[in-house]
């Protein structure tokens, strides 16, 4: 029973140990993130304070410490690069910056990629930090990279600083560096990517004793002094006064340090306020320009609308005038055609007169041709009869010739049907076409009498 109970306790310890390890790792990760952010804030303050007295360059220990801290923050829980063989090789934060900061306007990514003296990825990342500080765009680069959350998740593991709430604090802290003029040499030893960056914590590890602690130490010293001496003599009163003078000196020193710290914070806040005022003034100026553009566009739109309305009204008036002119021209054309067209009675009389003239003309031509053919025929008959009976043939030939001539003078009723009915407009048009073409019935084809053909 005792062994079973011990085993059970051991099992519980094992289960609780797993949860304890998880909580311990989470605590360590949180402490690591908080330490890096705090140290970064201190390094930014020291840089701002140092820039008031001298120019910040590669030889400045404050800058070297800040560059190491920023490199550690951007490399915190950075994923490795998987090779073809399935192994994961370490990568530098430059691989993330190169992809996430492409959207920054007028960025320096391509310039750093094309640098000849910088070959490794870590060295390119360090060169990017220096160039971004000289351009005063480091905060803009970091803010743009953090907004690209999809790319950030692809390059970093869970628990990274750039994926937590500390990332927004980082972008705000780096904004104060835009007021500093940096001067770096991009060919120095600081770009060597063979060695990792190391943070120096000693400038920020200053212990300041509180006033309560000082007073307690003085009481303790008095107590020890009184217990060590057998009698309370006036000589033993000296050390407490000396300690009081030291305490006043320490208090004055602490007040001076607080004043310097407050002065540094005031300078930082004033610089930040000046930057914000410049941004606000630029925004107000841009807003005024946009409002002016909107007013100009509205005015131009109104003028264009009025012009279009005027054009539409003018076109409508012109269309109305054209419609009226067209209607008037139609009426005039109808009246003109009605006045010039002859009446049916006059049309029949004119048609009959024209038919008579045409008939007489063609009848005369046919008569002349018939006389010629009859003369020839009579000559032939007379010749033939004279050969047989000269006396009788001459009398008969003359009589036949007179009969034929009298028959040719008679009107043939079949010719009246060639003119058609002249009581309609269609007949008049057909007669006009016949007149224009001189196409009437030939007397030799339709009006030839069977008696005229020689036997």
Residue 352 pLDDT: 59
Residue 29 pLDDT: 85
Residue 224 pLDDT: 59
Alpha carbons 57 and 136: distance in angstroms, whole number:
14
Q: 186 with 114: CB under 8 angstroms?
A: no
HSE, CB side, 13 Å, CA atoms: give it for residue 261. 7
Residue 423 pLDDT: 47
The domain limits of the chain are 26-204
Residue 217 pLDDT: 58
Name the burial class of residue 125, with classes exposed (0-12), middle (13-18) and buried (19+) by CB atoms within 10 angstroms of its CB.
buried
- Bridge partners of residue 156, in order along the sequence: 78
337: tokens are 């055609």
CATH fold for the domain made of 26-204: Methane Monooxygenase Hydroxylase; Chain G, domain 1 (1.20.58)
Residue 349 pLDDT: 55
Q: Which residues of the chain have pLDDT under 50?
A: 1-16, 227-243, 390-395, 398, 401-402, 404-405, 407-411, 413-425, 427-432, 434-455
Residue 68 pLDDT: 93
Residue 209 pLDDT: 58
HSE, CB side, 13 Å, CA atoms: give it for residue 442. 3
């Amino acid at each position: 029973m005792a062994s079973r109970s011990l085993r059970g306790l051991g099992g519980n310890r094992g289960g609780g140990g797993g949860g304890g390890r998880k909580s311990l790792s989470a605590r360590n990760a949180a402490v690591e993130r908080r330490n890096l952010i705090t140290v970064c804030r201190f390094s930014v303050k020291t840089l701002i304070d140092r820039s008031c007295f001298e120019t910040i360059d590669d030889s400045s220990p404050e800058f070297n410490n800040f560059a190491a801290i920023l490199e550690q923050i951007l490399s915190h829980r950075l994923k490795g690069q998987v090779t073809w063989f399935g192994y994961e090789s370490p990568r530098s934060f430059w691989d993330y910056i190169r992809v996430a900061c492409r959207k920054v306007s007028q960025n320096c990514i391509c310039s750093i990629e094309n640098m000849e003296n910088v070959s490794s990825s870590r060295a390119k990342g360090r060169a990017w930090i220096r160039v971004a500080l000289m351009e005063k765009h480091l905060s803009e680069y970091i803010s743009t990279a953090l907004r690209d959350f999809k790319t950030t998740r692809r390059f970093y593991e869970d628990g990274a600083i750039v994926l937590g709430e500390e990332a927004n604090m980082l972008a705000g802290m780096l904004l104060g560096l835009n007021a500093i003029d940096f001067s770096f040499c991009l060919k120095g030893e600081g770009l060597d990517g063979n060695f990792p960056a190391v943070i120096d914590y000693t400038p920020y590890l200053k212990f300041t004793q509180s006033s309560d602690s000082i007073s307690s130490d003085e009481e303790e010293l008095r107590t020890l002094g009184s217990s060590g001496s057998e009698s309370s003599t006036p000589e033993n009163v000296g050390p407490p006064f000396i300690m009081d003078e030291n305490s006043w000196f320490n208090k004055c020193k602490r007040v001076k340090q607080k004043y310097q710290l407050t002065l540094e914070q005031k300078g930082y806040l004033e610089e930040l306020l000046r930057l914000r005022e410049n941004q606000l003034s630029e925004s107000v100026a841009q807003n005024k320009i946009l409002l002016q553009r909107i007013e100009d566009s509205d005015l131009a739109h109104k003028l264009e609308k009025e012009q279009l309305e005027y054009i539409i009204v003018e076109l409508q008036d012109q269309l109305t005038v054209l419609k009226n002119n067209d209607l008037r021209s139609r009426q005039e054309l109808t009246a003109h055609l009605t006045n010039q067209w002859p009446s049916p009675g006059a049309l029949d009389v004119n048609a009959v007169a024209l038919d008579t003239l045409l008939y007489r003309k063609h009848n005369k031509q046919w008569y002349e041709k018939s006389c010629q053919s009859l003369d020839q025929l009579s000559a032939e008959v007379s010749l033939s009869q004279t050969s047989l009976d000269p006396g009788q043939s001459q009398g008969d030939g003359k009589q036949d010739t007179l009969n034929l001539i009298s028959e040719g003078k008679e009107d043939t009723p079949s010719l009246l049907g060639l003119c058609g009915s002249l009581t309609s407009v269609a007949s008049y048009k057909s007669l006009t076409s016949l007149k224009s073409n001189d196409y009437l019935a030939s007397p030799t084809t339709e009006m030839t009498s069977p008696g005229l053909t020689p036997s």
